[in-house]
Amino acid sequence: MPASLEERDAKIRRRGTATAIACVAFATGMVGAAYAAVPLYQMFCQVTGYGGTTQRADGAPTRVIDRKVAVRFDANASPGVPWSFQPGQREVTVKLGEVVQTSYFVKNLSDERVTAQATYNVTPITAGSYFNKISCFCFTEQTLEPGESREMPVVFFVDPAMLETEELKDAPAITLSYTFFREDNPAPVAEAPSTDAARNKL
Residue 71 CB coordination number (10 Å) = 22
Whether residue 165 contacts residue 115, with contact meaning beta carbons closer than 8 Å, is answered with no
Cβ burial of 77 (10 Å; 0-12, 13-18, 19+) is buried
Query: What CA–CA distance (Å, rounded) separates 137 from 153?
Result: 7
Can you tell me the distance from the alpha carbon of 199 to that of 77, in angstroms, rounded to the nearest whole number?
A: 41
**Cβ 150 vs Cβ 106: under 8 Å:** yes
Does the model's pTM come out above 0.75? no
Per-residue pLDDT in tens (0 to 9) along the chain, 202 residues: 455 556 655 555 555 555 545 444 444 444 444 444 444 444 444 443 444 454 566 667 779 999 999 999 999 999 999 999 999 999 999 999 999 999 999 999 999 999 999 999 999 999 999 999 999 998 899 999 999 999 999 999 999 999 999 999 999 999 999 999 999 877 675 554 444 554 444 4
Distance CA 140, CA 107 (A): 16
